[in-house]
Every structure is written in C-alpha cells, then in structure tokens.
Amino acid sequence: MTDPDRAVALLAGPTGLGTSAARLSAKLGRVEAEAPATAPLPDPAYAERPWGDGSFPPLYCPVTERINEPLAEEVDRRLVAWAVECGFDEEEAAKLGKTGFGRLVMLAHPDCEDPDRLLISAKLNAAWWAADDLYSDDTALGAVPEKLSSRLMLAMAAMDPVPPAGEFSVELDEKLEGDKVLVALRSGVDHLRRYGTPAQVQRVNFATFTMFVSWNAYAAWQHNEESPPAWEYLAARQHDSFYTSMTLIDVLGGYELTANLFFEPKVRRAAILAGTTAVLVNDLHSVAKDLADENPPANMVLQVAGDRGCSIEEATEITVALHNDLVRDFQSTHESLLAVASPELQRFLRGLRAWMGGGLEWHSTSPRYKTEAAGVSEG
C-alpha cells in the first residue's frame, strides 16, 4: 500500500473494493457539517491586491509566494530554444520568450526549483496559448472559426497519439510534423511523460480536451455572430481555465495526488474554483486586447457589459466582485479540507492557492497584456 493509499485508509468507514472514495466523501461531509459557523480569521496567505492601473477595486487573491527572476530567466531561455526546435521562427520564439511563460511557471509553482520540471509547464502553457491564438482567438494570426474543430482534432492526436493505422497514418504523421503548434503540443507532452505517471499524463490530456470543447463553443458563437449571455460564457469558461495548467502542480512538485483524491468532488470543486478565478484575472487583463480584435473573442467583462447594457467600467467592477467571491469560496473549501490526512492533498491545495497568487503577479507584469500586445505575434 502506498503512502497516499494508507492516508486514505485511515479515514473511518468500510473497507474493500470501491469503498475508499465513499469513505473520503463521508469524511469530507462530516468535516463540513462540523465546521463552526463563525467568520474566519484573516488569513495572511490572502490580500486585497491592486491590479491594472489601480483605478478599479482590488482583487482579493492569494499573495505571491516566490519571485526568483534568475530561475524564470533560465526557464525562458530554454523555452525560446525549444520553440525554434518546434518550428517557430527566431522572431516568434523571441516574442514567446518576452511573454514570460518561464516567469509564469516560476511564480505559479513555488515548490519547484528544478528548471527542467518547470519547463514542462512552460512548454505546455506556451503551446496551449499558441493554439488558442493561432487557431481560436486571434483573427490577425489566422484564427478561422470554421477550421477550429478540425485543427483541435489534430491537436488531440498530437498530444495523445493514436495507434498506427497503416497507410492511413502517413498523411496524419506528415500533418503532425508540419504544423508548429502540433509539434509543440506533442513535444510538451513528451517532456511531461519523462516526469509524470501515465495517470498524470492522461489527466492533463483530458483536461486539455475538455478545454477544447469550450473553444468550439466560442467558435460557433463567432461563426453565427452570436454574443452569448454571461452565464453561458462562464459555464464554458469554467472548463476553459487555468485548471488545465493546475493539473501539473503535483508533477512539478515531484509527487502524485492519486486519482480518487484528485477527482473527489470537493477537491475538484476547489481546483475548478482556483482555475476559474485565475482565468477571470486573465479576462480582466485582456479587455483592451480583445476589443482591438476585429472579431472580439468572448470575455466575461464584455459579456456582462452586453447583457446589462452597462459600461466596460461597470462590467469590470462586477467581474472583480465575482472573482473575489469565488476566491473566498475556494478559501472556505480549502479550510474544510484541512482535516483530511493526506500530505499529498494538503500540498496540492497549497499549490492551487499559490498558482492563483502567482498568476495575478504574472498578468500584472507580462507584456502580453499591455495595450499594444496582441497574441503570439506581439508577445
């Protein structure tokens, strides 16, 4: 029995095949029921943080746990060299470096000091962003809504290779080797396999493929010239969030959160909340860039403004308030899980919290979210 299994086995309840998840759910229910109905004391891990130009209400968010610029620079140096190997030209690779994905993962994964492990997340985040820009979001970079579904089908084949099918695999292989985005996605997963277990690799793949479903919804809205209501956009956005990036937390940390813990409903609630709050930060910082697109992508601020007929400023304040409420929901969920006797779970939950704090720091400083920035081409 592994240490994580032993930790789960310590929870009260029946034993035998299929009962460990039930015991955990029962334990989580008792913890929630027994929690005192008093207001929590201020947590120094969280703060009211200014953002943007400081003209809007602050974001309630975890603090940034680590800033190590030399480590970030080393990861970005390796990332630029890798991008060239994938087929991005020197200018594109340099602009990817300026975006600072190495700095993002340095900020978001403070329990990892190994630049090669951090490079897993830097590669995959850069590849996801490239696919988002070139395939989905940015019309100036060649995004075409009508082509998105077929492009994402090939992206899945790149990340999760299908078995050879004789002559029918020849053209597929040529396509996968001739598209820089597909090469980057496959290379990123290959790097992940060197450190992650098969379960961790497939967890990342399946989270990515779920994200792709939301991208197809956005493309359908664009193609049909529809502006979805904010509630519908948010439903899609919660599966197209930094949750996908957060599936790498334990891989980079050098441990594994078992599947029954990772997918336990209350743990998954915490992870989805963390990913959603982090992506609302992205939406808030992306408003100017998105408005500059001739066919603006969906964005929570823009959807709220359209729904309510209000100004961008008012919609921004509404989105900030939503973000802050969701962070407090995460904080409460995290606190209710502190009694679960799993070191891996406790480390993973701290990793989710750290990702939110580091993500805000990165969005506040990345040139990608300056007014003049526009996707991969502008860094």
CATH number of residue 147's parent domain: 1.10.600.10
Question: Does residue 9 sit within a domain?
Answer: no
Mean pLDDT of 161-188: 94
Q: Is residue 234 part of a domain?
A: yes
Number of domains in the chain: 1
- pLDDT tens, 90-141? 999 998 899 999 999 999 999 999 999 999 999 999 999 999 888 876 656 6
Residue 376 covered by a domain: no
Q: What is the pLDDT of residue 210?
A: 97
Burial class (CB in 10 A: 0-12, 13-18, 19+), 157: middle
Per-residue pLDDT, 146: 79
Is 29 inside a domain boundary? no
What mean pLDDT do residues 175-189 have? 96
pLDDT in tens, 47-80: 999 999 899 999 999 999 999 999 999 999 999 9
Q: Domain range spanning residue 82? A: 43-371
16 domain residue, yes or no: no
pLDDT on residue 289 = 83
Is the model's pLDDT at 27 over the cut of 70? no
Return the percentage of the chain with pLDDT > 70, whole number.
85
* Residue 30 falls inside a structural domain: no
In a domain, 2, yes or no: no
pLDDT one-digit tens code per residue, 219-262: 899 888 889 999 999 999 999 999 999 999 999 999 999 999 99
Asked if residue 181 belongs to a domain, the reply is yes
347 has a pLDDT exceeding 60: yes
